[in-house]
Structure 1
């Protein structure tokens, strides 16, 4: 069973789509799951079936709401604690097994978020620095980036597990700034979960939220700069055109 698409009709809850405050733009940071590719339905399906098999919640399948509230965007350490509060080791073994299932599925079903390659070309054409910043395990992250044809696009891959604290704490994004040698004043973040948006905002950067699967009202609670449906959203391109016209993109940053 696939997680359903979210109604994005309320994405206009945010207050505008300007990025002029980060002039000149030097770097762009991306989450992976749900931000580069629409993988939440694959994660949800794997969790749902595997939890049902072991009799979690009395054998009643988890709902999409449960998945969004307790699993989406979170690190496996935290997911293990939620699902198996009295047996953390079992929880970690379960999440490892689930990731193996996910990797098998994603090879056949990965889909980039609409407009992704148009946007990555815009970034490359301007020589901006870029990094992927994720709570996902390294094996998952590298596989998804490779399947999307972005292995040569990213200058760095930052894992939550390599930081003292994972998202929603700012540590992974602060590490990305350090690795890329750019400042938060000239960098923006793209995220699709409450946990991720909170991390980007806490790191001091304007964070654009994608309503790939999570409700706009929920994402707005994390205080994103603005929300977009995908990378073809006119709101994004209006903001990028504004930067171009004002000469506020630092070309040749790499």
Structure 2
């Protein structure tokens, strides 16, 4: 796939100027900004087995990758064959957050990639299918939150969107459409950086161009979900979205 920008003509000078392909780059959080998915999948697998659901880490990861657990409670109850304990969801959230607070790290090279893209004047934001508490916790822990707290012109304004603000989480497009609307850009002019089939499905449904980050997940799976371009190293990203 050719990723070169097409030239445009400056109205005053008549000189050809490069035009950018996108007006905003939207990052997923888990697996794209922070290396949280192995941690979350491990804790979820432990808690599923504690419920009496005999499932391997590989199988539970494949089933729940990129999906909000709070929206999969019916699935878990069907797997268990019985209702969940009344406080199971709150217990899950507390246990998950405690482990993330202790262990989560930024994805390799993502800070430099974000800085390089921001230096071009490109607006940036985060749009996660997770709850806002988790998203903010992880971004603060890794020191990435500050990179999404200013407009492209330097004005202070936080650009972090989560499933907490929308009716449906990924694979529905709601959080991506909210991000585009709030950032004041057309969905078709947005680049999405995703690493899961559910997230890619959401980005495609929103009418955005999706870049699949395949450092951990299967590239063919991401392409099948609709990612137009696959990459495996965050150092590649600034050139891809230029």
TM-score, normalised to structure 2, is 0.81
> Could you tell me which residue of structure 1 aligns to residue 109 of structure 2?
115
The separation in 2 between residues aligned to 1:192 and 1:26, in whole angstroms, is 21
1:31: how far off? 0.8
Structure 2 equivalent of residue 8 of structure 1? none
CA deviation digits over 1:28-59, x for unaligned, max 9? 10111111111111111101212222212xxx
Per the alignment, residue 201 of structure 2 pairs with 198
What does residue 51 of structure 2 align with? 54
SS at match of 2:178: helix
Task: Write the distance in 1 (CA, Å) between the matches of 2:32 and 2:127.
Answer: 11
Aligned to 2:92: 98
Cα-to-partner distance string for 1:53-91 (whole Å, 9 max, x where unaligned): 2212xxx343313322x2111122332121113666x37
Deviation of 1:120 (Å): 1.0
CA distance in 2, matches of 1:23, 1:160: 29
What displacement does 1:238 show? 4.3
SS at match of 2:33: coil
Give, in whole Å, the separation in 2 of the partners of 1:127 and 1:135.
26
Larger RCO: Structure 1 or Structure 2 (Cα < 8 Å, ≥ 6 residues apart)?
1
1:38 to 26, 35, 40: 35
Query: Is the contact made by 1:40 and 1:213 (CA closer than 8 Å) also made in structure 2?
Result: no
Which whole-Å CA distance do the structure 2 matches of 1:48 and 1:55 have between them?
11
What RMSD over aligned residues (CA atoms) do the two structures have, in Å? Answer: 2.3
Is 1:183 aligned to residue 194 of structure 2? no
Match of 2:12 in 1: none
Distance in 1, matches of 2:239 and 2:122, equals 18
Q: How many residues align?
A: 219
Q: 1:67 aligns with which of 54, 61, 68?
A: 61
| Partner SS for 1:73 | coil
1:80 alignment partner in structure 2: 73
Q: Kindly tell me: are residues 169 and 217 of structure 1, through their superposed partners in 2, closer, same or farther at Cα, counting changes over 3 Å?
A: same
Residue-by-residue CA offset, 1:123-159 (whole Å, 9 max, x unaligned): 2212222221112111111101111212222232212
CA deviation profile, 1:216-254 (whole Å, cap 9, x unmatched): 121111110111113024xx35435xx3xxxxxxxxxxx
How do 1:1-254 residues align onto structure 2 when only pairs under 5 Å count? Answer: 16=1, 18=3, 20=5, 23-56=20-53, 60-68=54-62, 70-85=63-78, 90=84, 93-154=87-148, 155-233=158-236, 236-240=237-241, 243=242
Change (3 A) 1:17 1:24: closer
Q: How far is 1:199 from its partner?
A: 0.7
Query: 8 Å contact 2:117–2:238 — kept in the other structure?
Result: no
TM-score for both structures, normalised by structure 1: 0.78
**Residue segments in structure 1 that go unaligned for 5+ positions in a row:** 1-15, 244-254
Which deviations, in whole Å up to 9, do the C-alpha atoms of 1:154-181 show, x marking residues without a partner? Answer: 2322122321322111111111011111
Give the Å deviation of 1:115.
Answer: 1.2
Using the TM superposition, give the Cα deviation of residue 98 of structure 1 relative to its aligned residue in structure 2, in angstroms.
1.9
